Amino acid sequence: MAHDDSAKSFAAEIADSGTAAAQFSSHALDSFKYNLLQVPANSVAQIVDYATGKNILPDMQWFAAPKEASLGSAAWAGDIVGNTMAAAVPLVVFHKLAGPGAATSLEISADYGLNKTAMPVLAKTAALGAAYGAFLTPTSGDNSHFWQERGSNAVVSALALTTMTAGSIGLKATGKAFLASDVVAAGASGAAAGVVDADGHSLLQGRGFATGQERLRSMAAWSFGSALGGGANTLHEVIAPTTGIGGVRTLADMTRLADSTVQPGHPARYAFESQQGTPAKAEALTEEAMHAWYNRSSVNLRSEIDNSKMPVDWRKQIVSGHQDFTYGLDALASRPNPKPIGVVYGSARFAENDFRYQRSRYIGGRAVQEGYDVMTGGGPGIMEGANRGAYEAGGTSIGVVLKLPHEKRGNGYQTLTLKHRNFFTRMENLKKADFFIVEDGGIGTGAEALDTLTHIQCGKLNEVPIYFVGKKSYGFMDKWLSQMEKAGTISPRDRDLYRIVDHPDEIFNDLRRRRSNANI
């Protein structure tokens, strides 16, 4: 008899466990479908009905709301899982657009943290959160407070998403490996956002703070969804790195890579102005008045100037240009142990704590390692980074400086400084290169790059490679030139004059291939 009772008990347990599993899976599926599809559909239908006076909401009831389950039951657990999975889908999407995924862009632009650089990201997050709350979160159906409820939803969603993004930024700013993990930072900040979401909706509905169960549901959904987004971001970085450089994602990563090109035992301090090798004769003549140069000019040049109707300022430009060309190019040609020259164009506005500065520093160092001298416009920012990289790698670092009253001579990382008083002579000096690299920059960088392309296109310069760094930065330029090609204003071959790369090593691999082919 006891044996029969034991068998029945075991069979009952099997039946109960099967029922529990069925209840769990059924409620999980119902909750997932309802929260992922039906809830936003209800919200959109409400807006359409309110705006048009129609009643399409009943026709859009595809899935019924899950039946209420008792706390702690298998069905209740299924509701939690289904709701969390449904919430995870939009959070994964928002993750790249406005959440921690979008916040990772700060890792390559400046010091990572809650500073002014983070404000655009947080503002975008708040805007997208408000749009989600206003248009995809349904209201009670009381049209007398329709827009008030919509506004409340918008405010709560904006606050929740902003909390998630700000929390992720703050955790990553600690620099701790564990907290800087996408999954951990996103999941933890998502939990905080869940509390904001639960309490915010409850308070705005006049119910006071949310219950413990409401908070738990919200925290689980937000944390899980955000952590999934963090995982998706991590996977994306492996497959298609944001920076285009595998394993290099942050400013610290790029700095370490640039440090790898520093010559062992190289002085840590840069070359001060007094140590720069500016050609003595050019330096001595720089400050001379026009007549001194005029007296030493060739007879033909003096005769042409004498017989010209040009104003004095124009005559001075000819004389100073003659000086800049003569001594600038002579000094370039007379440098000791000359090697092929790589010129780097780029913005003067990036500080040392910027990813692009350190990338240009790596480019300068790598160029020296590959057997090149490096030349820039001699200014700060990208130019300083490239000069510094070349200097630290023990190579020749050339700065072609435009003499301005408010600027010092060069950036201090040059072994040879060439001073020019004219943009046009400076630009011609910079064109004496065997390849060109165009980093991020503004109007000046664009002018230099396109001017160089024009000279090569028209045969005024030998055809040498031009590399634009950053497909995200210079993809627009390629589209612009593609439109020119379609319009017939440039030939298809003109677009073969340049390459757009993400990883600086692509540049030097291509240069190595070109050298190898030239020696065949």
The full set of domain ranges for the chain reads 11-242, 255-259+339-519
Count, residues in the chain: 520
Cα–Cα distances (Å) from 323 to 313, 314, 326, in that order, read 15, 14, 5
| pLDDT at residue 268 in the model | 63
| Cα 171–Cα 174–Cα 180 angle in degrees, nearest 5 | 55
Which residues share a beta bridge with 435? Answer: 342
Between β-strands 397-402 and 341-345, what pairing exists: parallel, antiparallel or unpaired? Answer: unpaired
Dump pLDDT digits (tens) for 407-420.
556 788 888 888 88
User: Predicted confidence band at 80 (pLDDT cuts at 50, 70, 90)?
Assistant: confident
User: Would you state the structure tokens that stand for residue 215, as one six-digit string?
Assistant: 């908070």
According to DSSP, residue 211 is labeled P
Dump pLDDT digits (tens) for 285-313.
344 444 555 566 666 777 787 788 888 88
Dump pLDDT digits (tens) for 315-351.
888 887 888 888 788 888 888 889 999 999 999 999 9
User: Would you state the structure tokens that stand for residue 160, as one six-digit string?
Assistant: 């929740």
Dist CA 196 CA 481 (whole Å): 48
Dist CA 15 CA 360 (whole Å): 68
| pLDDT at residue 296 in the model | 61
Dist CA 275 CA 277 (whole Å): 6
**Residue found under tokens 């500016």:** 278
Q: Is 345 helix (H, G, I), strand (E, B) or coil?
A: strand
Largest CA distance in the chain: 131
Dump pLDDT digits (tens) for 160-179.
988 988 888 888 777 777 88
Q: Yes or no: say if 461 and 431 are a contact pair by the CB < 8 Å rule.
A: yes
3-state helix/strand/coil string of 445-466: HHHHHHHHHHHHHCCCCCCCCE
Q: What angle separates helix 312-333 from helix 423-430, to the nearest 10 degrees?
A: 20
Q: Supply the Cα-derived Rg of the chain in whole angstroms.
A: 33
Domain at 255-259+339-519, CATH from 3.40.50.450, 3.40.50.970, 3.90.226.10, 3.40.50.10890: 3.40.50.450
Dump pLDDT digits (tens) for 251-287.
888 999 999 999 988 766 555 544 555 444 434 434 4
Lateral strand order in the sheet of 397-402:
416-420, 397-402, 373-376, 341-345, 435-438, 466-469, 498-501
